[in-house]
Amino acid sequence: MTANDNGGLRERKKAATREALSAAALRLALEHGPQNVRVDDIAEAAGVSPRTYNNYFSSREAAIVAAVAAERALRVGAALRERPADEPLAEAVIEAVVSQYDEPGLPAGELLKLVASTAGLRTEFVGTVAAIEQPIANAIATRTGDEGLAPKVLAAAVSAAARVAVENWIRPAEDDEEQAGGSLLVVPSGSLPDLLRKALASVAPALEAADPAAP
Amino acid sequence: MTANDNGGLRERKKAATREALSAAALRLALEHGPQNVRVDDIAEAAGVSPRTYNNYFSSREAAIVAAVAAERALRVGAALRERPADEPLAEAVIEAVVSQYDEPGLPAGELLKLVASTAGLRTEFVGTVAAIEQPIANAIATRTGDEGLAPKVLAAAVSAAARVAVENWIRPAEDDEEQAGGSLLVVPSGSLPDLLRKALASVAPALEAADPAAP
DNA sequence: CCACAAACTTGCGTGCACGCATAGATTCGC
DNA sequence: GCGAATCTATGCGTGCACGCAAGTTTGTGG
């Protein structure tokens, strides 16, 4: 094989198209407001057909959020595998998750306002957190050697806890919504890493109970 | 007020319409296969306009699954509140959840095959489990007096665990899918109550750690 | 009993997601 | 290099979800 998963022209083109779509989506959303951006506009701005848009993203919101979520979730698996093997499971998981939702690239300012104040984008953004579940389940299964339900359940619990943290982080000021209005108070609840640690602390006992290293 | 939330004509009609839609949806799905049922067909069979269908159910699958899910999830809140106050939190939650997913009305036979072998219905059915989250969060908040994140996180973890249990219960035989084919092996993983207990046991330590009754 | 308010139904229009078939690009094997 | 296998882009058609603005039914107060 000349190239299959990385340097190949095909792969690079796909990545470029995805990137172009995502960037165009975000730019248009910021320019005209997320409600005023049609899928066709995004496709056109990226130079592909509308049909192709849906080959890359399965919803109008997905492309916008992808520009902001930056596959953060997918990297949790790698982060977890790289933690020292003698670290307690709970600590490893918590640090791996928090590390991916630390400062760099997190929506802030205009971006955050955009996502937080639009129902569809908020839902989509919160939904991206679920992507951490599979990688974590695999990592826990490897660590514990358990082949049953437990790793899946624990990963689901961790993912759910992270989701709650993100929900509470990005919760808008309840009343105002949509409409590019004026000053909406968002993210009053503290930093995301702090929220994540608080949330994950509640499920930590379950991880500890499943940790073969510290019975 | 003559009637507002129960005996009123309006409420009864709404309930009847909802029931009619749900029943029609299920019947048509069983008769012609879920893929061959249009929203318009369901609406017509129930004697309402297609537009009205979407006033009651937000997706084509929702009506079918509603006929099977029977608001099981919503009753978890009531079940939990009715558990003795001196029972440990973990036990109360587990029993409340399991009690609602016990025998009566669970999809079985043709029904189960229908739901399990259709991707859309499976997703929708699994999704109904999430409805237990809010009630459980409220109940835990009441029990523990905690007003912060913990109850939400724990409820999310419980809900996630239950979801994993249901996913594994209803998992089809991997290969065959859709198409009213012949004998597909579904639900090989044991009874749902057993799966739920196994799954919830993994998150129980987190509940115990938050239980004020047993510090 | 009647008029007004509140809630529900319906038709219409729009945007969206996606299966399918075809044409075009890239990669593979030799 | 070259042809075949594989993957991607696109157009078309269908079904679906939902906002909106009447029109209709049900509930409330006098």
> Could you report the per-residue pLDDT of B168-205, keeping only the tens digit for each?
999 855 544 444 444 444 445 689 999 999 999 999 99
As given in the structure block, the two tokens for residue B147 are 């007003």
- Residue B195's contacts (CB-CB under 8 Å, 6 or more residues apart) are A149, B165, B166, B168, B169, B189
- Residue A106's contacts (CB-CB under 8 Å, 6 or more residues apart) are A112, A192
Alpha carbons A161 and A152: distance in angstroms, whole number? 14
The answer to whether B149 CB sits below 7 Å from nucleic acid chain D is no
Check pLDDT > 80 for residue A64: yes
Reduced to 3 states (helix: H, G, I; strand: E, B; else coil), residue A38 is: coil
Which whole number is the average pLDDT over B204-210? 97
Please report the pLDDT score of residue B32 as a whole number.
96
The whole-number Å distance from A17's CA to C30's C1' is 33
Q: Which of A159, A199, A209 sits opposite B149 (nearest CB)?
A: A199
Mean pLDDT lowest for which of A34-43, A95-104, A168-177? A168-177
- Are the beta carbons of A164 and B152 separated by less than 8 Å? yes
- In this complex, the residue with its CA at the shortest distance from the C1' of nucleotide D9 is A52
Please report the pLDDT score of residue B93 as a whole number.
97
Which CATH number applies to A70-209?
Answer: 1.10.357.10
Please report the pLDDT score of residue A212 as a whole number.
83
User: Exposure pattern of B86-96 as b/e (b: 16+ CB <10 Å)?
Assistant: eeebbebbbbb
User: Which residues of chain B neighbour A153 with C-beta distances below 8 Å?
Assistant: 160-161, 164-165, 199, 202-203
Interface check for B202 against chain A (CB to CB < 8 A): the answer is yes
Which whole number is the average pLDDT over A56-75? 92
Please report the pLDDT score of residue A102 as a whole number.
87
Interface check for A157 against chain B (CB to CB < 8 A): the answer is yes
Strand C footprint nucleotides (protein C-beta < 7 Å) = 7-13, 15-20, 26-29
Please report the pLDDT score of residue A175 as a whole number.
46
Please report the pLDDT score of residue A110 as a whole number.
87
The answer to whether B51 CB sits below 7 Å from nucleic acid chain C is yes
Q: Which of B132, B152, B202, B207 to mutate to test the interface with A (most CBs of A within 10 A)?
A: B202
Q: Which of B149, B161, B164 sits opposite A164 (nearest CB)?
A: B149
User: Exposure pattern of B101-138 as b/e (b: 16+ CB <10 Å)?
Assistant: beeeebbeeebbbbbbbbebbbebbbbbbebbbbbbbb
A126 in Cβ contact with A107 (< 8 Å)? no
Mean pLDDT lowest for which of A3-17, A123-137, A160-174, B90-104? A3-17
As given in the structure block, the two tokens for residue B39 are 């929203």
Which candidate, A39, A7, A34, A3, places its Cα nearest to that of A21? Answer: A39
Domain A9-65, what fold? Arc Repressor Mutant, subunit A (1.10.10)
Return the domain boundaries, chain B. 9-65, 70-210
Q: How confident is the model at residue A60 (pLDDT cuts 50, 70, 90)?
A: very high
Check pLDDT > 70 for residue B2: no
- Residue A194's contacts (CB-CB under 8 Å, 6 or more residues apart) are none
Check pLDDT > 50 for residue A187: no
The answer to whether A123 CB sits below 7 Å from nucleic acid chain C is no
Q: How crowded is the C-beta side of B176, counted as CA atoms within 13 Å?
A: 13
User: Exposure pattern of A94-132 as b/e (b: 16+ CB <10 Å)?
Assistant: bbbbbbbbeeeebbeeebbbbbbbbebbbebbbbbbebb
For B117-135, write each residue's pLDDT tens digit. Answer: 999 999 999 999 999 999 9
Which residue in chain A is spatially nearest to B199 when comparing CA positions? A153
Give me chain A's average pLDDT, please: 89
The whole-number Å distance from B4's CA to C5's C1' is 15
CB atoms within 10 A of CB A174: 8
- Residue A81's contacts (CB-CB under 8 Å, 6 or more residues apart) are A139, A142
Which whole number is the average pLDDT over A2-25? 86
Please report the pLDDT score of residue B180 as a whole number.
40
Give the closest-approach CA distance of B212 to chain A in angstroms. Answer: 14
Please report the pLDDT score of residue A214 as a whole number.
64
- Are the beta carbons of A154 and B202 separated by less than 8 Å? yes
Q: How confident is the model at residue B215 (pLDDT cuts 50, 70, 90)?
A: low
The whole-number Å distance from B2's CA to D24's C1' is 21
User: Which residues of chain B neighbour A212 with C-beta distances below 8 Å?
Assistant: none
Q: Which CATH class is domain B70-210?
A: mainly alpha
Question: Quick one: which H or E segment has residue A153?
Answer: helix A150-170
- Are the beta carbons of B149 and A160 separated by less than 8 Å? no
Which candidate, A55, A54, A18, A20, places its Cα nearest to that of A38? Answer: A54
Identical fold between B9-65 and B70-210? no
For B30-83, write each residue's pLDDT tens digit. Answer: 999 999 999 999 999 999 999 999 999 999 999 999 999 888 888 999 999 999
Share of chain B residues as helix, strand and coil, in percent rounded to the nearest 5 = 70, 0, 30
Check pLDDT > 50 for residue A186: no
The answer to whether A14 CB sits below 7 Å from nucleic acid chain D is yes
ipTM attached to this prediction: 0.90
Measure CA B64 to chain center: 12
The answer to whether B54 CB sits below 7 Å from nucleic acid chain D is yes
For B8-19, write each residue's pLDDT tens digit. Answer: 878 899 999 999
